[in-house]
Amino acid sequence: MPQDLAAHDWLGGRPSSAGTQTLLLHSDGGATASVSVTSRAQASQVTALHALCVEGWGISVVVSDDDRRVLADGRLVPVLPQWRLPDLPVYAITPRRGEQPAKVRHALALLGAHFEKANARP
């Protein structure tokens, strides 16, 4: 159950003075849950959270391809796989509003394709 997350060691991604974060979860069946967790450790870099998680320091939200690889080889295990965090919006800030330089258009297209692919993963 999502409420059980509060009793586990948590690895947080956004350092704050309180170290507490509220997770909003949605199940495959449409249920929702809100859980407040307190971080055992916090790091602003994904690689640091990944290393702590692999070494057994606690639970974290999977966000990188490195995490997906160690999940696939069994060094990490999914927790509550039938529950998901809500999607977060991603914004791109560009130097101008109208016609963009080719490099900006191509970068935005690559980012769009990446997030479409990531969103399609189970």
* 94 and 80 both lie in a single domain: no
* 47 and 65 both lie in a single domain: yes
* 93 and 77 both lie in a single domain: no
Total domains, the chain: 2
Residue range of the domain that includes 107: 89-122
Other Cβ atoms closer than 10 A to 51: 14
Q: Please, which pLDDT band fits residue 17 given cuts at 50, 70 and 90?
A: low
Q: pLDDT for 59-88, tens place per residue?
A: 888 677 788 889 899 999 888 888 888 877
Residue type, 1: M
* 67 and 115 both lie in a single domain: no
Strand order in the sheet with 10-12: 10-12, 32-42, 20-27, 83-84
52 pLDDT higher than 70: yes
**H-assigned helices in 7-101:** 46-54, 65-72
Q: Name the DSSP letter for residue 109.
A: H
Calculate the CA 28 to chain-centre distance. Answer: 18
* 21 and 80 both lie in a single domain: yes
Q: Please, which pLDDT band fits residue 107 given cuts at 50, 70 and 90?
A: very high
User: The whole model's pTM is what?
Assistant: 0.65
